[in-house]
Amino acid sequence: MRGKRFGTGAALAVGALAVTGLAFAPTAVAVTPDTATITADCGTFGSGEATLAATQDGTSATITVTSAITAPIALAEDSITSTLTLVNASGGTATFSGTENPALAAGDAVTVGPLSGTVASGDSLEAYGGSLQIVVLGITVTCTATGPQSPGPFVFD
């Protein structure tokens, strides 16, 4: 009987610790807004509207970009190297980079990401003044925003 009581007591103690751990677990942080649009100029490769979608987990953040240019040919998954540079309202820049992209058919809008970067609480990041550099098949394409992003900069918690 003594063994059963000890087992039950230990289980209750572990359960109480788990509940306490949940109570003190960090809350999810958010970036506001989570999506924004820009008008991008990619030089001879085209121009148009691009969408940026941001997520945040602590000091880590990701941004996925659906660009203003289309794939001239089919492109394999994870075949594009991308670097997104955003301007920080408090000065400096933040860089997000990666080699992730879905498989793209000819004519599809080029989507890259999630591109990974580091943010601090209160960072206010804007595409206008920054750039997106895409390298595919050895060709470098640089896109820049022609005006501020809408509805506004990404503000990280």
- Residue-level pLDDT at 5: 43
Tens of pLDDT along 20-40?
333 333 445 689 999 999 999
Tens of pLDDT along 128-150?
999 999 999 999 999 999 999 99
DSSP for the chain, please give it: -HHHHHHHHHHHHHHHHHHHHHHHSPPPP-EESSEEEEEEE-GGG-EEEEEEEEEEETTEEEEEEEEEEE-SS-B-TT--EEEEEEEETTSSEEEEEE-----B-TTPEEEEEEEEEE--TT-EEEEEEEEEEEEETTEEEEEEESS--BS--EEE-
